[in-house]
Amino acid sequence: MAGTIEVLVPGGQANPGPPLGPELGPTPVDVQAVVQEINDQTEAFDGTEVPVTVDYDDDGSFSIEVGVPPTAELIKDEAGFETGSGEPQEDFVADLSADQIRQIAEQKQSDLLAYDLKNAAKEVVGTCTSLGVTIEGNNPREFKKRIDEGEYDDIFAEEAAA
């Protein structure tokens, strides 16, 4: 009866209740061991919703793969707000720095279509546009133009291999 379970759990705060418990209950795995492993692996995301895949075998063994939270969740966590703006072009709910955009882009880069950090940052800025988040006091669309013009190349340049 080997199988796979995919759930969203709060980083570092998974518990044997829903959504994990009902999914894992009928399986041969030790639910508490799975919860502990998930919490250990997602601790850095501290409460942010994280996609987790649990693969299990008939003998009770399991493996856990932790994904990266959605870009909007990373932005909300970094900026410290719960919900985006109802009118994102007029009512802004938070402001991020270029360094914070870089940090989010680095976390998400493996999940994005972007081929470099600069383009990953532009994808993050696009999400800021839909959430109503400014960057360094600027409308995200204006900030994206500045990235395109090379104004932030020093911040979004790929690090040279050591």
In the DSSP assignment, the letter for residue 62 is E
pLDDT in tens, the chain (162 residues): 589 999 989 889 999 998 888 988 888 999 999 999 999 998 888 778 889 999 999 999 999 998 888 899 889 988 888 888 888 888 889 999 999 999 999 888 888 888 899 999 999 999 999 999 999 999 999 999 999 999 999 998 865 333
- What does the radius of gyration of the chain's CA atoms come to, in whole angstroms? 19
DSSP H helices, the chain, are 20-24, 31-42, 71-79, 98-108, 117-131, 140-148, 153-156
Which residues pair with residue 9 across a beta bridge? 50
8 Å CB contact between 97 and 73 = no
